[in-house]
């Protein structure tokens, strides 16, 4: 698999016109890679792409994947940012979500990681059945106590055919309470902003200098190349994705073929995506960009659709940009969908 990913990087080198700013090891459990494999893949990028000085190089991992030895090993690799899937610092939450690690492992992992890495982000989940606001505040406080510079936080979603869905259906635990999730979101915003974090994207909070460069590139519509099974890519107008099947992926790559499907986005698709991503960020939706890239018809439609949300205090216009207010943040995905253009021919 590692050899196939390296070969795909070579096959697709012409797709990256810009200088590479970030390298991200995500999806699955990339922490199972050895230092040698990580360094081999990073060196392949350097050998075939233009890479900026000191790019952000992130590796995703779960606490149960990161032993003391692995953390030390990673600190001696080119990896300079860790994204750790903590989810919660409480055993009852972790058991409910069927996580492989426990609370003590989560705390031990963060404590050791902070000794070797300055740039760390963790994931926390809110809206978990049975987690009251006091436990949620304690979760946030534990993250703050570690002095982490970045936190990503998401509302719990119950995926189909999971153990959690089954126990909810059986009445063993209550279903997700949307009102409580909303309340916990605003607790999160207030606590983190009081400690110097910027809520630069609905689910992401960073201190100055520690915004995720990788994820920010997605939200600002920059192009990216994704390699490996199921990986997605974007070049500004086309979205593509690799097949999921590992053996087939390796076979195709070995034959020098890219196992990729491509979707060309229409003007309406690109407008809708820009509205969705823009409203989720502190950079908002630029009215000037809407008019320049999509035309006055789209601009007029956006202004018309946005009026009621501005009147309700959920959106605001500032410096030529449409932004979600604090009140509107939790509802922003639904608001954005109402601003989508759906009646023009694609």
Q: Tell me the residue length of the chain.
A: 346
Q: Indicate the pairing of strand 204-206 with strand 232-234.
A: unpaired
Q: What secondary structure letter does DSSP report for 14?
A: G
Buried b (16+ CB within 10 A) or exposed e, 104-113: ebbbbbbebb
pLDDT digits (tens, 9 = 90+) for 26-53: 977 788 899 999 999 999 999 999 999 9
pLDDT at 31: 83
DSSP string, 207-263: -TT-S-HHHHHHHTT--B---STT-EEE-SSEEEEE-S-HHHHHHHHHTT---EEEE
pTM: 0.92
Find, among 267, 250, 243, the residue nearest to 340 by Cα. 267
> What percent of the chain stands above pLDDT 70?
94
Q: Please, are residues 30 and 277 in contact by the beta-carbon 8 Å criterion?
A: no
Count of beta carbons in the 10 Å neighbourhood of residue 173 = 13
Class of domain 18-219: alpha beta
- Greatest Cα pair distance, the chain, in angstroms, is 58
DSSP string, 131-164: --HHHHHHHHHHHHHTT-SEEEEEE----TTSHH
Tokens of 146: 């570690």
Q: Please, are residues 244 and 251 in contact by the beta-carbon 8 Å criterion?
A: no
Q: Which of 146-155, 158-167, 206-215, 284-293 has the lowest mean pLDDT?
A: 158-167
Find, among 240, 279, 278, the residue nearest to 259 by Cα. 240
Average pLDDT over residues 287-294: 97
DSSP string, 111-128: HHHHHH-S-EEEEEEE--
Average pLDDT over residues 244-257: 96
Instruction: Locate the domains of the chain by residue range.
Output: 18-219, 278-339
Find, among 167, 71, 65, 59, the residue nearest to 111 by Cα. 71
């Amino acid at each position: 698999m590692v050899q196939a990913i390296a070969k795909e990087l070579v096959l697709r080198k012409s797709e990256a016109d810009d200088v590479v700013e970030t390298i991200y090891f995500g999806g699955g459990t990339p922490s199972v890679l050895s230092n040698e494999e990580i360094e081999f893949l990073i060196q392949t990028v350097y050998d075939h792409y233009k890479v900026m000085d000191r790019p952000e190089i992130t590796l995703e991992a779960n606490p149960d994947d990161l032993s003391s030895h692995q953390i030390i090993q990673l600190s001696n690799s080119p990896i300079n940012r860790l994204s750790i899937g903590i989810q919660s610092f409480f055993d009852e939450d972790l058991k409910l979500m069927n996580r492989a690690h426990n609370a003590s492992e989560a705390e031990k992992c963060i404590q050791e990681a902070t000794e070797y890495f300055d740039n760390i982000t963790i994931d926390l989940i809110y809206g978990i059945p049975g987690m009251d606001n006091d436990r949620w505040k304690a979760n946030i406080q534990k993250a703050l106590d570690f002095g982490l510079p970045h936190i990503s936080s998401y509302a719990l979603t119950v995926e189909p055919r999971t153990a959690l869905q089954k126990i909810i259906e059986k009445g063993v635990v209550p279903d997700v309470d949307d009102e409580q999730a909303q309340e916990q979101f605003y607790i999160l915003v207030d606590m983190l902003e009081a400690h110097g974090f910027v809520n630069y994207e609905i689910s992401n909070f960073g201190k100055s200098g520690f915004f995720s460069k990788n994820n920010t590139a997605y939200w600002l519509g920059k192009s990216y190349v994704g390699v490996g099974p199921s990986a997605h890519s974007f070049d500004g107008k086309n979205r593509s994705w690799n097949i999921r099947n590992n053996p087939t992926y390796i076979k195709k790559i070995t034959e020098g073929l890219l196992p990729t499907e491509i979707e060309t986005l229409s003007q309406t698709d690109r407008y809708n995506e820009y509205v969705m991503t823009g409203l989720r960020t502190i950079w908002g939706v630029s009215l000037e960009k809407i008019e320049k890239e999509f035309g006055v018809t789209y601009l007029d439609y956006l202004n018309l659709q946005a009026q009621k949300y501005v009147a309700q205090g959920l959106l605001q216009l500032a410096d030529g940009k449409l932004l979600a207010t604090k009140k509107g943040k939790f509802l922003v995905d639904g608001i954005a969908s109402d601003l989508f253009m759906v009646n023009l021919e694609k």
